[in-house]
A and B are shown apart, each in its own frame.
Chain A
Amino acid sequence: MATDPALAAFLALDDDTVAAYADDRAAALGLALPPETRAGTLENLALLRRQAATFAMDLDAAAPIEAFEP
C-alpha cells in the first residue's frame, strides 16, 4: 500500500472518478482543460494511474530518493 497520501489517493481512483479528480487538480493548478483536450487527457490520466499501480504500491515513501547513477 502506498504510504504517500497523494499517491494513495491517486491510486485509489477508478475510471469513473478520474474526471472529478482531474477537475480538482486542474483548478488547483490554474490549468484550464479545453473541450478538445478533455477526453484524451482523462484517458491518459487513467492510464497513468493503472501504470503507477504496477510499481508504486509497495515502495517506501519515507525512503530518500538517491541521486541516480546508472
Chain B
Amino acid sequence: MSPPGSALDFRSAQAVAADIREGRTTAREETEAAVARARTDPFNAYTALVAQRALAQAEAIDADLAAERPVGPLAGVPFAVKNLFDIEGVTTIAGSKIRRDAAPAAHDATAVQRLTAAGAVLVGALNMDEFAYGFVTENAHDGPTRNPHDLTRIAGGSSGGSAAAVAGGLVPLTLGSDTNGSIRVPASLCGVFGLKPTLGRLSRQGAFPFVESLDHVGPFARSVADLALAYDLMQGPDPLDPLCRRPAEPAAPRLQAIADGPLRVGVLGGWFAQGAFPEVLEALEIVADALQARRGVELPGAEQARAAAFCLTPVEAAHLHLPDLKARPLDYDPAVRDRLLAGALAPEAVAEAARRYRPVFRDAACRVFEDFDVLLAPASVCPAPGIGQATMEMDGQPVSVRRNLGAYTQPISYIGLPVVAAPVNRPGKPPIGVQIIAPAWREEVALAAALRLERAGVVVAHRPPPVPPGEVRA
C-alpha cells in the first residue's frame, strides 16, 4: 500500500477499502490524506471541499470497525463528484457563475447517497464545463482542469475534473455525467476507465440537468473491478427520477464468466473511422486484435444520429436556461451562451425531428447487435489537445476542437447504449481510450470485455509522470 499523506495515491478503491478493513490504515487517515491531496491539487480538478463532513463520516466508519459492526464495501474510500451533483449544504454550481448564489442543496443526489451508504467518503466537488456543455473543461469561471499526463493539455470534458482526479491519484473513484460523451471523452484523454450506463439505469436525481432526454450519470475509476462495483452500488429504481425504474442487476458477480466466454466483437467503420488521428486508429487496432474483432461494421445512420444529438442538445437545454438567457446572458461562459442562444432561436420542430429520428437509429443499432455482443469505436478523435487550442485537423481540414471531440460518442449516447471507455495500453504515449459499446441494459457485457482486455494488459489506467515541483493549479 502507499502510505497516506499528500503524495498522490494510485491504489484501487477496493485496495483502499481492504487496507482499512484489515487495519493497515484507518478511514480517518485515508480521508485526511485525500483532503490534503485535494488542497494541493495540481490539476485544478477540485472546486470545493467538504472536509468536515468527510472526517466526521470517516470517524464513524472507524468506530464501526472498532466495534466490529458491519460496514459497506467501500467503507472509508474517498471519492469526489462533478460539481453538478447535489451535496447537502453545498451550492450546486454546475460549473456556472449563474448558480453561485443559489441556495445550498437540501439533500445529496441519489448517486451520492448510494455511494455514501456503501461507506465511500465524499471529499469534494470537481470542475466541469459550464452546465456540462463542452468537451474541454476550460471553465471560464474556475479555470481549466489540467491533464495529469501533460499539464499543458486539457483533461477533456465536460467531466474533466472527475477524470483528472482519478488519473492524477487524488481519489480512486469519482462520478461524472455524460450527455454527449462527457464521461467517455475525458476518460479517454486522461487514461482512466469510465462507464456511461444505459439511459435510465442510474438515477439522475440531484444531478443538475443539461438535456434531460440525453443525460446519464456514471463512475470513473482506475480498474474495471472498481468501475463495476461503483456501478452496482448505485443501481436500483428511484421514484425521484422517472427514467430510473429498473431493478438492480448486479454486474460484478457475472463479469468473470462472461469475460472467459466467447464474445462476438465488431469494430465500427464509416462515421466512426472518419477523421480519427492515426494514433487513435492504432490504439483501436490494438484492442480489436486482442478481441479478434471483425472490422468495418456499419452502423447505418450514425452521421445523422450525431447531427440529431448535436441539434437536440441546445434546443432542449435552452428551455431550462431561457429565463437566465434573457436576464443575464453575459454571466454565461461565452462558449456555452452562444450555443444556448442559438438553441433558443431554433424552432422546437428541430428538437422534435431529433426525437423522431431516435427510434430509427436505435432500431438500426439493434439490428447490428444481432451479430455482435459488443462494438468498438474510438472514444475521441485525438489525444488531448492543448489548453486553449481552438482548432485541430481532421482529414486534412482545420476544425473546431470543441465541436468535434465528441464526434464518435454522440451517436451512441443519443440512443442511450451502455459504454465502457477503456484506456489503451500504449506505454510512453499520450492516453487514448476506446468505446466498448453493448446493447441496451447489457452493461455487464461491456464491462466483461474491458475486464478481459485489462487482464491481458491491453487496457490499463496509466500512472502519470510526477508533477514538476512548483506547478500550480489553474
| Interface residue ranges, A against B (CB under 8 Å) | 2, 4, 6-7, 9-10, 21-22, 25-26, 29-34, 36-37, 40-45, 47-49, 51-52, 54-56, 59-61, 63, 65-66, 68-70
Contact = CB atoms under 8 A, between A and B. Distances in A.
- Chain B contact residues: helix, strand, loop or mixed: helix
B303 interface: yes
Given A41-B342, A44-B342, A36 B350 contact: no
Contact of A51 (B311, B347, B359): B311
B430 interface: no
Contact of B349 (A6, A22, A30, A45): A6
B350 A10 contact: yes
- Chain A contact residues: helix, strand, loop or mixed: helix
Given A10-B347, A25-B345, A33-B341, A44 B314 contact: yes
Contacts of B338: 37, 40-41, 43-44
Contacts of B352: 4, 7, 61, 65
Given A44-B314, A44-B341, A55 B346 contact: no
B356 interface: yes
Contacts of B314: 44, 48
29 contacts: A2-B353, A7-B350, A7-B352, A7-B353, A10-B346, A29-B322, A29-B344, A31-B325, A32-B326, A36-B334, A37-B330, A40-B338, A41-B342, A42-B342, A44-B341, A47-B403, A48-B314, A52-B307, A52-B353, A55-B308, A55-B354, A59-B356, A59-B357, A61-B349, A68-B199, A68-B358, A68-B416, A70-B362, A70-B415
A57 B339 CA distance: 22
A15 to B, nearest CB: 13
A9 B301 CA distance: 24
Contacts of A6: 347-349
B349 A7 contact: yes
B347 to A, nearest CB: 4
Contact of A45 (B334, B342, B416, B417): B342
Nearest to A9: B347
B311 A52 contact: yes
A31 B346 CA distance: 13
Given A22-B345, A41-B341, A43-B338, A70 B329 contact: no
B356 A63 contact: yes
